[in-house]
Structure 1
Amino acid sequence: MDLIESLMQDAKRDKKRIILAEGEEERNLVAANKILKEGIADLVLVGNEAKIKENAKRLNSDISKAEIMDPNTSEKLEEYVKGFYELRKKKGITMEKAEKMVRDPLYFATMAVKNGYVDGMVSGAVHTTGDLLRPGLQIVKTAPGVKIVSGFFVMKVPDCEYGESGLLLFADCAVNPNPTSEELADIAITTAETAKKLCNLDPKVAMLSFSTMGSAKGELVDKVTNAVKIAKELRPDIDIDGELQLDAAIEPEVAKLKAPMSKVAGKANVLVFPDLQTGNIGYKLVQRFAKAMAIGPICQGFARPINDLSRGCSAEDIVNVVTLTVVEAQRGI
Structure 2
Amino acid sequence: MNILEKLKQKAKNLKKRIVLPEGDDERVIKAAHDAANEGLATVTLLGEEENIRNKAKSMGLDLGKVEILNIQDDEKKELYAQKLHELRKQKGLTLDQAREWLKNPMYYACMMLYEGRVDGVVAGAVLSSPDVIRPALQIIKTAPGIKLASSCFLMVVPDCPYGANGTFLYADAGFHPNPSAEELAYIAITTARTAQLLLGVTPCVAMLSFSTKGSAKHELVDKVIEATRIARSLNPELLLDGELQADAALVPEVGQRKAPDSPVAGKANVLIFPDLNAGNIAYKLTERLAKATAIGPILQGLAKPVNDLSRGCKAEDIVLQIAVTVLQTQF
User: Which bin holds the TM-score, normalised by the shorter protein?
Assistant: over 0.9
C-alpha deviation, 1:218, in angstroms? 1.5
Corresponding residue of 1:290: 290
Conservation of the 8 A alpha-carbon contact between 1:36 and 1:42: yes
Corresponding residue of 1:144: 144
What is the distance in 2 between the residues matched to 1:175 and 1:138? 16
Report matched runs for 1:23-172 at 5 Å. 23-172=23-172
What is the distance in 2 between the residues matched to 1:49 and 1:145? 40
CA offsets 1:258-304 (integer angstroms, 9 cap, x no match): 11110001110000011111101000101100001111111111000
Work out whether 1:5 is the aligned partner of 2:20: no
Deviates more, 1:254-263 or 1:115-124: 254-263
CA offsets 1:158-210 (integer angstroms, 9 cap, x no match): 11111011011111111111111111000000011111122101111000111
Specify the code of the residue in structure 2 equivalent to 1:206. Answer: A
For 1:43, what is the secondary structure of its paired residue? strand
What is the distance in 1 between the residues matched to 2:174 and 2:326? 20
For 1:72, what is the secondary structure of its paired residue? helix
CA offsets 1:229-278 (integer angstroms, 9 cap, x no match): 00000001001110111011101111112111100011100000111111
Conservation of the 8 A alpha-carbon contact between 1:71 and 1:104: no
Conservation of the 8 A alpha-carbon contact between 1:106 and 1:135: yes
Q: Cα RMSD over matched residues? A: 0.9
For 1:133, what is the secondary structure of its paired residue? helix
Corresponding residue of 2:312: 312
Specify the code of the residue in structure 1 equivalent to 2:118. Answer: V
Work out whether 1:264 is the aligned partner of 2:264: yes
Corresponding residue of 1:251: 251
What is the distance in 2 between the residues matched to 1:306 and 1:149? 11
Conservation of the 8 A alpha-carbon contact between 2:33 and 2:65: no
TM-score, scaled to structure 1 = 0.98
Specify the code of the residue in structure 2 equivalent to 1:125. Answer: A
Work out whether 1:192 is the aligned partner of 2:192: yes
Which 5+ residue runs of structure 1 have no aligned equivalent? none
Conservation of the 8 A alpha-carbon contact between 1:252 and 1:265: yes
C-alpha deviation, 1:22, in angstroms? 0.5
Runs of 4+ in 1 over 2 A off after TM superposition: none
What is the distance in 2 between the residues matched to 1:49 and 1:151? 33
For 1:295, what is the secondary structure of its paired residue? strand
CA offsets 1:120-164 (integer angstroms, 9 cap, x no match): 000000111111111000000001111111111111111111101
Deviates more, 1:111-120 or 1:145-154: 145-154
Question: Share of identical aligned residues, percent?
Answer: 54
Report matched runs for 1:236-247 at 5 Å. 236-247=236-247
C-alpha deviation, 1:51, in angstroms? 1.6
CA offsets 1:297-319 (integer angstroms, 9 cap, x no match): 11111000101111111000001
For 2:15, what is the secondary structure of its paired residue? coil
What is the distance in 2 between the residues matched to 1:112 and 1:126? 20
What is the distance in 2 between the residues matched to 1:173 and 1:305? 18
C-alpha deviation, 1:55, in angstroms? 1.2
What is the distance in 2 between the residues matched to 1:277 and 1:58? 41
Specify the code of the residue in structure 2 equivalent to 1:228. Answer: T
What is the distance in 1 between the residues matched to 2:7 and 2:158? 18
What is the distance in 1 between the residues matched to 2:78 and 2:66? 22
Corresponding residue of 2:213: 213
Corresponding residue of 1:277: 277
For 1:32, what is the secondary structure of its paired residue? helix
For 1:174, what is the secondary structure of its paired residue? coil
What is the distance in 2 between the residues matched to 1:299 and 1:314? 19
What is the distance in 2 between the residues matched to 1:256 and 1:199? 25
For 1:279, what is the secondary structure of its paired residue? helix
What is the distance in 2 between the residues matched to 1:8 and 1:257? 39
TM-score, scaled to structure 2 = 0.98
C-alpha deviation, 1:71, in angstroms? 2.0
What is the distance in 1 between the residues matched to 2:29 and 2:219? 47
What is the distance in 1 between the residues matched to 2:138 and 2:146? 15
For 2:18, what is the secondary structure of its paired residue? strand
Specify the code of the residue in structure 1 equivalent to 2:279. Answer: G
What is the distance in 1 between the residues matched to 2:211 and 2:130? 31
Conservation of the 8 A alpha-carbon contact between 1:150 and 1:172: yes
C-alpha deviation, 1:14, in angstroms? 2.4
Specify the code of the residue in structure 2 equivalent to 1:69. Answer: L
C-alpha deviation, 1:10, in angstroms? 1.5
For 2:71, what is the secondary structure of its paired residue? coil
What is the distance in 2 between the residues matched to 1:62 and 1:302? 34
